[in-house]
Structure 1
Amino acid sequence: MNNHSDKKIKVLYVDDEGNNLLAFQASFRRIFEVHVANSSAEGMKVLNNHDVHVVICDQRMPQSTGVEFFQIVRKAFPDPIRMLLTGYTDAEAIVDAINKGEIYRYIKKPWDDVELKNAIQNAYEIYITRHQLKNKISELEKTNDELNRFVYSTSHDLRSPLASIMGILNLAKMEDSVDDPNGYLGMIETCVHRMDGFIQKIIEYYKSIRVDDEYEDVDFNKMLSEIIEICSMQNQDIAFKLTVDQRVPFMADAFRLSVILNNLISNAVKYQKPTAVEPWVKIDVQVDEMKAVIQIEDNGIGIVEQHLNNVFKMFFRSSNNVTGLGIGLYIVKEALARIGGKISVHSVYGEGTMFELRIPNHPYVKLEE
């Protein structure tokens, strides 16, 4: 008996030889709940009508082999553990079945009762472990979903008092009603802006992982011009150079694509040298039927080489000189994963950085590793 339940282990044995079915029932019906079938079709009927933990099948049967039967069972009923029983040395088929995951193990005929009993009990332990793991994954997914909803709701709620604080600060500055020789109001305003920016990033991340994929025609000239117009407000001294070669239609998730490009271009502006004489950001887009290749390059502060492998991690900041949040590139990586894109980065500290994106033209191709 198993240690997890008072119920017996439910076993299905499929074999075209009636004597084997009778022998199996005689040996194990007191230990397990035994179901038998004399063909693959009968075996499928049993699986349709009963919750079975372990399925055992003879390899050589007239209408189909045991491996062929398990190929069907694996798709229709993936939970039961599958074992092959054979009196033949069909090594190639058995190895292939094990490698492809169609069977857990095989037992030679004529079977040894003790060996087969232990094999069934071990298979059941695997069944229970997988079942528990599936339940844990389901619980974690539910918890993660609830946590995401909580963070999103809280972030929205926090923006309201922040907006009130900003309104009061602006009113105080307009009326010149507060004596502030030490610049405390400016410090408060800076902190509020940083917090509001962080909250907006959280909301952006939530939307990126929650919003359903929706593919539509993308006009890179239009999308990038709008992003540049907004980002240039951060630093009006930066010269933007945009080159777009798009001679064919491009289908993509426009929402996530705009999130990706907005974060990368915003970073290119944010991480400029404070004393740069001629700061610039270059954006080059090449589109064909299969993909879009986008390069975003700047002559900013750059990233030290040992940090290049960490820039896409949440809350990682490559420089302490800029008030970044360390979440933008993480959002980029997550959004790219959703649309099947890839990103690489090349940077020389003190000279600048270039990000290259490769995004599939949906639904034509999925980019290779």
Structure 2
Amino acid sequence: MKSLTPNAIRILYLDDEQDNLNAFKATFRREFEIYTVQSVSEATRILQEIPVHIIIADQCMPYCSGVEFLGSIINRFPEPIRVLITGFIDSEVLIDAINSGQIYRFVRKPWDEMELRNTIYNAYDSYRTTQQLKQNVAELEKTNNELSRFIYSMSHDLRSPLMSIQGVIKLANLEQSVIDPNGYLDIIGQSVHKLDEYILKVIQYYQNSKAEVINESIRFESFINELLEEFKPQNLSIDFQIDIDQPVDFIGDTFHISVILNNLISNAIKYQRMDEVAQVVNIEVKVNAAKTVISIADNGIGILNEHLDQIFKLFFRAKNTRRSGSGIGLYIVKEAMNKIGGKISVKSAPNKGTRFDISIPNRRVEEMSLCV
């Protein structure tokens, strides 16, 4: 293999007629680094050894047409720009070339030197633009990952002093060692608790975005009850009504489903009406062979109708309540649903309550089909 010329445009030209290859090389050898071959096997070998920028192929060749060749290499060698040279353009060939070979441009045979030269330079510009775009995307992904790791690390570090403040406040209240007639300690405690909730949402957002989907068997009766054990102490007056119907096994991603349910149940508790005597949260689970449908409903303050198409957006906060949230929770829910291929809908009425319905595919069907 000959050494590569720095900054040269490298072209692979496949044609079964040697005269065409000789004419192309004689015309453009001073401008470009050219590799001419007469067979598909030779072309494939060159592509494996040399980072080619542009591939030019003749359409009419024995055993393999230009469209067939360009279509066959698209997955193994996606980066080179593909040009097809043909003596005729048939509509079916044109459609096939666009769909299977992703042809950049057609050049009529016999080719015009100026037209082909312009095609090559334009193709190379397209190649460089694509490569620059890939590099920019890679740099953005790297920066985004570094920023996410920084936020995750800082969130963990911030929780430690907050926990210390909460501990001191609880100790002071238990020992009654601080005279606080104006209730400043309670105000501080509430503010620390609110900040800690926000930090936990940031950590949850990071974990949700990075976690892979791992499917496993889920028994919803124990799964839901374990989740509620964490929530019940937050509001002892709430009546949790649970209805679970699971006649078949369910395979799904435990982590993402727990993220979804944690946020929805937390909101159902948080946005109860203070003047409601019978505060209720209904959780219904219906499992079948194809999917699980989970409904979480409350009789709380509800959501304004004009807000219903906004609530899943990042940092959106409803304005009909003094108990403002972080604006992250429902966004996390939506992202988690997308990861596991689920769907979510919401119905709500101010001062009557909110109902979220989620549908999650049962991956048990996929596992069964793999075993057949």
Structure 1 ranges of 4+ moved more than 4 A: none
| Structure 1 position 231 matched with structure 2 position 228 | no
Moved more, 124-133 or 336-345: 336-345
Report the RMSD for the aligned CA atoms in angstroms.
Answer: 1.7
**1:147-206: CA deviation from partner (whole Å, max 9, x where unpaired):** 111111111111111111112112221222222222111110001001111111111121
Contact 1:238 1:280 in 2 (8 A): yes
Contact 2:67 2:96 in 1 (8 A): no
In structure 1, distance between residues paired with 2:352 and 2:97: 56
Contact 1:10 1:53 in 2 (8 A): yes
Aligned partner of 2:244 in structure 1 is 244
Q: Name the amino acid aligned to 1:251.
A: I
| Structure 1 position 328 matched with structure 2 position 332 | no
Structure 1 regions of 5+ residues with no counterpart? none
In structure 2, distance between residues paired with 1:33 and 1:210: 44
Aligned partner of 1:222 in structure 2 is 222
Deviation at 1:99, TM superposition (A): 4.2
Deviation at 1:101, TM superposition (A): 5.9
| Structure 1 position 132 matched with structure 2 position 137 | no
Aligned partner of 2:370 in structure 1 is none
- SS at structure 1 position matched to 2:295: strand
In structure 2, distance between residues paired with 1:215 and 1:286: 19
| Structure 1 position 294 matched with structure 2 position 297 | no
Aligned partner of 2:143 in structure 1 is 143
Aligned partner of 1:57 in structure 2 is 57
Aligned partner of 1:361 in structure 2 is 362
Q: Name the amino acid aligned to 1:70.
A: L
Deviation at 1:224, TM superposition (A): 0.9
Deviation at 1:289, TM superposition (A): 1.7
Alignment of 1:1-369 (within 5 A): 7-100=7-100, 102-319=102-319, 320-362=321-363, 364=365
Deviation at 1:10, TM superposition (A): 0.7
Contact 1:98 1:105 in 2 (8 A): no
- SS at structure 1 position matched to 2:365: coil
When the two structures are aligned, how many residues end up with a matched partner?
362
Percent identical among aligned pairs is 50
Q: Name the amino acid aligned to 1:84.
A: L
TM-score normalized with structure 1 length:
0.94
Contact 2:300 2:354 in 1 (8 A): yes
- SS at structure 1 position matched to 2:359: strand
Q: Name the amino acid aligned to 2:47.
A: L
**1:10-55: CA deviation from partner (whole Å, max 9, x where unpaired):** 1111111111111111111111111111122211111011110011
Q: Name the amino acid aligned to 2:339.
A: R
In structure 2, distance between residues paired with 1:85 and 1:145: 44
Distance 1:361 1:80, change over 3 A: same
Deviation at 1:122, TM superposition (A): 0.6
- SS at structure 1 position matched to 2:333: helix
Contact 1:67 1:102 in 2 (8 A): no
